[in-house]
Amino acid sequence: MARSDSFFSTISAKKPRPDGKPSLSVKERFSALKNLPEFLRLVWQTSPGLTLGNVALRLLRAALPVAMLYVAQLILDAVVQLSRQPAPERVLAPVLTLVALEFGLAVLSDALGRGVALLDSLLGDLFANQTSIRLMQHAAELDLDQFEDSAFYDKLERARRQTLSRTVLMSQVLSQAQDFITMGFLAVGLVAFNPWLLLLLLVAVVPAFLGESHFNERSYSLVHGWTPERRELDYLRQTGASDETAKEVKIFGLSGFLIDRFRTLSDEFYQQNKSLVIKRAGWGTFFAAVGAAGYYAAYVYILSQTVRGQVSIGQLTFLAGSFARMRGLLEGILSRFSAVAEGALYLQDFFDFFHLQPRIVRQELTGERPIPFPRPIKQGFTFEGVGFKYRNAEKWALRNLSFELQAGEKLALVGENGAGKTTLVKLLSRLYDPTEGRILLDGHDLREYDPQELRQEIGVIFQDFVRFQLPAGQNLAVGRIEEKDNQPRIEQAAQQSLADSVIAKLPQGYEQMIGRRFNGGVDLSGGEWQKIALGRAYMRDAQLLILDEPTAALDARAEYEVFQRFKELTRGKTAVLISHRFSTVRMADRILVIENGQFQEIGSHEQLLARSGRYAELFRLQAAGYQ
DSSP string, 153-192: HHHHHHHHHHHHHHHHHHHHHHHHHHHHHHHHHHHHHHHH
Strand partners, 445: 440
pLDDT band at residue 104 under the 50/70/90 scheme: very high
Average of per-residue pLDDT across 136-141: 81
Q: Domain check: are 434 and 393 in the same one?
A: yes
Per the structure, the count of domains in the chain is 2
Of the candidates 303, 321, 355, which is a domain's last residue? 355
* Model pLDDT, residue 367: 57
- Reply yes or no on whether the pLDDT at 596 is more than 60: yes
**Confidence (pLDDT) at 188:** 77
The contacts of residue 467 (CB under 8 Å, 6+ apart) are: 514, 515, 529
- CATH number at 406 reads 3.40.50.300
Domain membership flag for residue 99? yes
Name the pLDDT band for 2 (thresholds 50, 70, 90).
very low
Mean pLDDT, rounded, for 285-306: 75
Backbone angles phi, psi at 169, to 5 degrees: -60, -40
Cross-strand partners of 548: 578
Which domain does 231 fall in, by range? Answer: 26-355
Q: Check whether residue 443 and residue 313 sit in a common domain.
A: no
Residue 473: how many other CB atoms lie within 10 Å? 22
pLDDT of residue 251: 67
Determine contact, residues 178/333, Cβ cutoff 8 Å: no
Same-domain check for residues 446 and 331: no
- Could you tell me if residue 88 is inside a domain? yes
Task: Answer yes or no: do 337 and 385 share one domain.
Answer: no
Instruction: Confirm whether 224 is domain-assigned.
Output: yes
Specify if 544 maps to a domain: yes
DSSP characters for 516-583? SSSTT-B---HHHHHHHHHHHHHHH--SEEEEESTTTTS-HHHHHHHHHHHHHHTTTSEEEEE-S-HH
Distance between CA atoms of residues 314 and 306, nearest Å: 10
Least reliable range by pLDDT among 9-13, 20-24, 582-586, 613-617 = 9-13
Residue 45 lies inside a defined structural domain of this protein: yes
Of the candidate ranges 177-181, 339-343, 350-354, the one whose mean pLDDT is the lowest: 339-343
pLDDT at 172 over 90: no
Which residue from 225, 237, 204 is spatially nearest to 323, judged by alpha carbons? 204
Residue 135 belongs to a domain with what CATH number?
A: 1.20.1560.10
pLDDT value at residue 563: 67
Q: Is the pLDDT of residue 213 over 80?
A: no
Q: What is the tens place of the pLDDT at every residue in 310-324?
A: 778 887 787 777 777
pLDDT score, position 10: 34
Last residue of a domain, one of 340, 355, 370: 355
Could you tell me if residue 440 is inside a domain?
Answer: yes
251-281 pLDDT, tens digit each: 677 788 888 888 888 888 888 788 778 887 7
Specify whether 456 is located in the same domain as 329: no
Q: Are residues 388 and 328 in the same domain?
A: no
Answer whether residue 533 shows pLDDT above 60: yes
If you average pLDDT over residues 165-177, what whole number do you get? 80
For the cut 60, the answer to whether the pLDDT of residue 515 exceeds it is yes
Confidence at residue 6, expressed as pLDDT on a 0 to 100 scale: 36
28-42 confidence digits (pLDDT tens): 667 777 888 888 888
Q: Is the pLDDT of residue 66 over 70?
A: yes
Please report which confidence band the pLDDT of residue 107 belongs to, taking 50, 70 and 90 as the band edges. very high
Same domain, 280 and 421: no
**C-alpha to C-alpha distance for 567 and 584, rounded to whole angstroms:** 11
438 shares its domain with 487: yes
Q: Is residue 328 domain-shared with residue 471, that is, in the same domain?
A: no
At 565, the pLDDT band (50, 70, 90 cuts) reads low
pLDDT at 143 exceeding the cut of 90: no
Grouping H, G, I as helix, E, B as strand and the rest as coil, residue 241 is coil
Q: How far apart are the first and last CA of the chain?
A: 82
Is residue 427, in this structure, part of any structural domain at all?
yes
pLDDT mean across residues, the chain:
79
Specify whether 428 is located in the same domain as 393: yes
Average pLDDT, integer, range 536-547: 84
255 Cβ neighbours under 8 A, 6+ residues apart: 240, 249
Whether residues 41 and 112 fall in one domain: yes
Per DSSP bridges, beta strands 380-388 and 574-578 are: unpaired
Residue 596 lies in a domain: yes
pLDDT bin (cut points 50, 70, 90) of residue 136 is confident
> Are residues 204 and 265 both part of a single domain?
yes
Does the structure show a pLDDT above 80 at 361? no
